[in-house]
């Protein structure tokens, strides 16, 4: 597996990470055995950058990773990233966001316990809290660095102004935000700011929550409780129109002898050398398929063709339901 360096800190991770959210939440039924196999296989093939958050489950995703780390004894093989800041009750109901310094500290202690580790390699604020100055939140995270509880600091879905302010308090290693062929808002202001400040983009939902793989051809493909059925891009009205865009890149993937998922990830890897996509899967076969994206080279002509075939203005529907949209890019 190829590696990439995040931020100015020298943190080295696999060029493709592993998103663990869908193993416990949002995308239908759980299969802990298959997820465990996937996590272990990831380490065997060098995918060492695992991504979780306290709110996935809630809590059960960190517990799953903690169990796998404990039973395998492979903690030192993993660059472990988790997040705090989105509050949910035990039933999963959304309770708001918090960047309060006391909340930062308590969340970190809780995550360390659930993960069964003595430090977190990369700790992100999951959503920005407009009621707490970013300097206070990042200040509390910087204290955790001094105490050795976390190694590096990241933000998720922060706008360029907040990134700049946060970075004056403590170097920000990574910005984790949604970035893929169908979600490209970052390109205007946030990515140039990341490049200027030496902050690496970590692209979440790089496969468009699975849509960009072409595997899902209609809404019936999802289980009844799948969160994607509430996402505007997957609505009755928008699904087929968005699928028509995917079909165009499917043709290019076929001509290159790769899968559509691999093409979508390779496109991201070509955007800048310190960007790391973190596709999520519960299945070993898909993990291996996604890992293969690092071997794909796209020429300038092919990159231009992808942009031509998949114009961002043609994507139908916002990337989150309305309430969740309000928490983004603050
Ligand atoms: N910071 C944030 O706010 C935020 C928000 C969302 C996600 N994330 C992080 O980003 C990670 C990745 O994002 P994501 O899971 O939302 O979306 P994604 O990686 O774009 O897509 C995941 C979905 O695609 C399917 N899939 C994966 N590889 C595939 C392949 N090769 N062919 C066909 N289907 C494939 C998976 O199904 P199977 O599991 O059945 O394979 C899953 O349903 C998450 O796990 C989480 O850690 C962060």
Beta-bridged to residue 174, according to DSSP, are: 154, 200
pLDDT of 328 reads 86
CA gap 225, 29 in Å, rounded: 9
Taking the CA atoms of residue 150, residue 151, residue 152 and residue 154 in that order, the dihedral angle to the nearest 10 degrees is: -20
State which ligand 1 atom lies nearest to the alpha carbon of 127.
3
Number of domain units in the chain: 1
56 an active-site residue? yes
Asked if the structure places residue 181 within a domain, the reply is yes
Q: Write out the residue range of the structural domain in which residue 130 sits.
A: 3-325
pLDDT along the chain (330 residues), means of 10: 95 98 96 98 98 98 98 98 96 94 98 98 97 98 98 98 98 98 97 98 98 97 96 97 96 96 98 98 98 97 96 96 83
Cα-to-centroid distance, 143 and ligand 1 (Å): 32
For CA atoms 15, 40, 78, 88, the dihedral sign is positive
Is 215 near ligand 1, meaning CB less than 6 Å away?
Answer: yes
Residue 9, pLDDT score: 87
23 CA: nearest ligand 1 atom: 39
Q: What is the CA(132)–ligand 1 centre distance, in A?
A: 30
pLDDT at residue 3 in the model = 98
In a domain, 173, yes or no: yes
- Decide if 330 is inside a domain: no
| CB-based contact 220:247 (threshold 8 Å) | no
Provide the phi-psi class of 226: left if phi over 0, else alpha when psi is between -120 and 50, else beta.
beta
In short, whether 25's Cβ falls inside 6 Å of ligand 1 is no
Residue 268 in contact with ligand 1 by CB distance below 6 A: no
CA 46 – ligand 1 centroid, Å:
19
The pTM of the full predicted model, rounded to 2 decimals, is 0.98
DSSP string over 90-129: TT--EEEE---HHHHHHHHHHHHHHHT-S-EEEEEE-S--
Q: Does 101 reside within a domain? A: yes
Q: Does 278 contact ligand 1 (Cβ within 6 A)?
A: yes
Maximum alpha-carbon separation in the chain? 54
- The answer to whether residues 127 and 327 touch, using CB atoms and an 8 Å cutoff, is yes
Query: Considering Cα of 228, then 230, then 231, then 236, what sign does the dihedral take?
Result: positive
Q: What pLDDT does residue 323 have?
A: 86
Report the nearest-CA residue for atom 4 of ligand 1.
204
Provide the CATH number for the domain around residue 13: 3.20.20.100
CA distance 23 to 16: 17
Ligand 1 atom 47 nearest Cα: 19
Pick the atom of ligand 1 nearest to 259's CA: 31
Catalytic residue from among 56, 103, 124, 204:
56
Q: Is 270 exposed, middle or buried (0-12, 13-18, 19+ CB in 10 A)?
A: middle
Cα 70 to the center of its chain, rounded Å = 24
Q: Which run of H or of E encompasses 202?
A: strand 200-204
Match 């390699």 to its residue by tokens. 121
Q: Flag whether 195 is in a domain.
A: yes
Instruction: Give the model's pLDDT for residue 327.
Output: 86
User: How far is the centre of ligand 1, averaged over its atoms, from the C-alpha of 144 (Å)?
Assistant: 29
Which of 16, 17, 19 best tests ligand 1's pocket when mutated (most atoms within 8 Å of CB)? 19
282 CB near ligand 1 (under 6 Å): yes
CA-nearest residue, atom 39 of ligand 1? 281
Q: Please indicate whether residue 51, judged by its CB atom, sits closer than 6 Å to ligand 1.
A: yes
pLDDT value for 330: 60
In angstroms, rounded to a whole number, what is the distance separating the alpha carbons of residues 131 and 184? 27
**Ligand 1 lined by 50 (C-beta under 6 Å):** no
> Does 154 sit in the ligand 1 pocket, CB within 6 Å?
no
Q: Best of 127, 210, 225 to mutate for ligand 1, by most ligand atoms within 8 A of CB?
A: 210
């Amino acid at each position: 597996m190829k590696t990439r360096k995040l931020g100015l800190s020298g943190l080295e991770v696999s060029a493709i990470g592993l998103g663990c959210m869908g193993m416990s939440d949002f995308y239908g039924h759980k299969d802990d055995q298959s997820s465990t196999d996937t996590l272990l296989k990831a380490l065997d093939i060098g995918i060492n950058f695992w991504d979780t958050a306290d709110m996935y489950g809630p809590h059960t995703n960190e517990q799953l990773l903690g169990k796998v780390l404990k039973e395998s004894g492979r903690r030192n093989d993993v660059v472990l990233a988790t997040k705090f800041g989105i509050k949910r009750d035990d039933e999963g109901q959304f309770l708001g966001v918090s960047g309060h310094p006391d909340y930062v500290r308590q969340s970190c202690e809780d995550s360390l316990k659930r993960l069964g580790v003595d430090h977190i390699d990369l700790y992100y604020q999951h959503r920005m809290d407009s009621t707490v100055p970013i300097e206070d939140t990042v200040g509390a995270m910087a204290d955790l660095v001094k105490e050795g509880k976390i190694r590096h600091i990241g933000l998720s879905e922060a706008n360029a102004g907040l990134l700049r302010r946060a970075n004056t308090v403590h170097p920000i290693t990574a910005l984790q935000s949604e970035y893929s062929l169908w979600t490209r808002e970052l390109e205007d202001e946030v990515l140039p700011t990341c490049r200027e400040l030496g902050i690496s983009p970590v692209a979440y939902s790089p496969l468009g929550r699975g849509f960009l793989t072409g595997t899902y051809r209609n809404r019936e493909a999802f289980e009844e409780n799948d969160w994607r059925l509430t996402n505007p891009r997957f609505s009755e009205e928008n699904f087929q129109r968005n699928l028509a865009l995917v079909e165009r890149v499917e043709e290019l993937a076929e001509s290159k002898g790769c899968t559509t998922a691999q093409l979508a990830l390779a496109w991201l890897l070509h955007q800048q050398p310190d960007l790391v996509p973190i596709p999520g899967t519960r299945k070993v076969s898909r993990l291996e398929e996604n890992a293969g994206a690092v071997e794909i080279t796209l020429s300038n002509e092919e990159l231009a063709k992808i942009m031509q075939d998949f114009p961002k203005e043609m994507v139908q529907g916002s990337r989150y339901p309305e309430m969740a949209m309000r928490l983004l890019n603050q």
